[in-house]
Amino acid sequence: MVYSGFRVKLLLRLFMLIAVVLLLMLVLFRTDWYMTGIVLFLLVLFQLYDLIHFVERTNRDISSFLQAIRYSDFTQRFATSGLNSSYRELYQSFNDISEAFQQVKTERQAHYHYLQAIVEQVGVGILTFDEEGEVQLVNHVTKELLHIPHMRHIDTLERLSPELVQALYTIGHEEKRLVTLQVNEEQLLLNLSATELQMQGQLLKIVTLQNIQSELEEQELQTWQKVIRVLTHEIMNSVTPVVSLASTVNNLLEQEVMAKHAAGESIDEEVLEDMQSGLRTIEKRSAGMLHFVKNYRRLMRLPASELKPVRVAELLRNVHTLLQHQLEDQHVSLKMYLPDEKTEVLADAEQLEQVLINLIKNGVEACLQQSDKPCVEVVAFVPEGERDKLRIDVTDNGPGIPDDVLDKIFIPFYTTKKQGSGIGLSLSRQIMRQHGGSIRVHTQPGETIFSLGLRRVVVSC
The predicted model gives 277-293 an average pLDDT of: 65
- Which of 178, 188, 185, 191 is CA-nearest to residue 145? 188
- Together in a domain, 20 and 43: yes
Half-sphere exposure of 276 (CA within 13 A, CB side): 13
Question: What's the CA gap between 269 and 225, in Å, rounded?
Answer: 48
222 falls within a domain: yes
pLDDT confidence of residue 58: 67
339 falls within a domain: yes
The predicted model gives 109-129 an average pLDDT of: 79
Burial 412-428 (b: 16+ CB within 10 A, else e): bbebeeeeeebbbbbbb
- Together in a domain, 207 and 269: no
Query: Residue 228, Cα to own-chain centre: how many angstroms?
Result: 33
115 falls within a domain: no
What is the DSSP code (8-state) at residue 418? S
114 falls within a domain: no
- Together in a domain, 265 and 176: no
N residues, the chain: 461
List Cα–Cα distances, 68 to 88, 100, 341, 391, in angstroms. Answer: 19, 13, 61, 54
Task: Please tell me the total count of domains within the chain.
Answer: 4
CB 197 within 8 A of CB 223: no
The predicted model gives 89-111 an average pLDDT of: 76
pLDDT confidence of residue 380: 92
- Together in a domain, 261 and 135: no
159 falls within a domain: yes
Q: What is the dihedral of CA 220, 226, 228, 232, to 10 degrees?
A: 180
pLDDT confidence of residue 116: 74
**CATH number of the domain where residue 148 is located:** 3.30.450.20
- Together in a domain, 351 and 321: yes
Asked which of 107, 140, 156 is the last residue of a domain, the reply is 107
List Cα–Cα distances, 44 to 27, 28, 55, 58, in angstroms. Answer: 14, 14, 17, 21
pLDDT range class, residue 221, cuts 50, 70, 90: low
pLDDT confidence of residue 5: 60
78 falls within a domain: yes
Question: What's the CA gap between 124 and 211, in Å, rounded?
Answer: 8
Sheet containing 186-199: order of strands: 135-138, 125-130, 202-211, 186-199, 176-183
- Which of 230, 185, 187, 236 is CA-nearest to residue 212? 187
CA angle 37, 42, 48 (to 5 degrees): 125
154 or 187: which leads in pLDDT: 154
Q: Which stretch, 58-72, 194-208, 261-275, has highest mean pLDDT?
A: 194-208
In the chain, what percentage of residues exceed pLDDT 70? 68
Question: What's the CA gap between 441 and 422, in Å, rounded?
Answer: 16
pLDDT in tens, 206-215: 888 888 766 6
Position 402 pLDDT exceeds 70: yes
Question: What's the CA gap between 345 and 432, in Å, rounded?
Answer: 13
- Together in a domain, 257 and 138: no
- Together in a domain, 293 and 322: no
Question: What's the CA gap between 219 and 311, in Å, rounded?
Answer: 32
Position 53 pLDDT exceeds 90: no
- Together in a domain, 328 and 404: yes
pLDDT range class, residue 298, cuts 50, 70, 90: low
Asked which of 279, 299, 319 is the last residue of a domain, the reply is 299
Position 419 pLDDT exceeds 70: no
Half-sphere exposure of 41 (CA within 13 A, CB side): 9
pLDDT in tens, 80-99: 665 555 566 666 777 777 77
Three-state DSSP class for 223? helix
- Together in a domain, 39 and 160: no
112 falls within a domain: no
CB 119 within 8 A of CB 131: no
Position 165 pLDDT exceeds 80: yes
pLDDT confidence of residue 265: 64
Q: Average model confidence (pLDDT) for the chain? A: 77
130 falls within a domain: yes
Contacts of 282 (CB under 8 A, 6+ apart): 242, 246
Contacts of 397 (CB under 8 A, 6+ apart): 367, 371, 373, 374, 375, 446, 447
pLDDT confidence of residue 126: 87
Contacts of 329 (CB under 8 A, 6+ apart): none
Query: Residue 152, Cα to own-chain centre: how many angstroms?
Result: 18
DSSP string of 235-274, one letter each residue: HHHHHHHHHHHHHHHHHHHHHHHHHHHHHT----HHHHHH
In 3-state terms, the chain is what percent helix, strand and coil (to 5)?
Answer: 55, 20, 25
Position 420 pLDDT exceeds 60: no
- Together in a domain, 92 and 220: no
- Which of 68, 67, 57 is CA-nearest to residue 90? 57
Asked which of 187, 211, 235 is the last residue of a domain, the reply is 211
Which stretches does DSSP call E strand in 94-221?
125-130, 135-138, 176-183, 186-199, 202-211
Q: Which phi and psi (to 5°) does residue 196 adopt?
A: -110, 145
Q: How many helices (H) and strands (E) does the chain have?
A: 11, 12
Position 129 pLDDT exceeds 80: yes
The predicted model gives 300-307 an average pLDDT of: 72
- Together in a domain, 398 and 289: no
CB 433 within 8 A of CB 218: yes
- Together in a domain, 423 and 440: yes
pLDDT range class, residue 324, cuts 50, 70, 90: confident
Residue 290: give the domain boundaries.
216-299
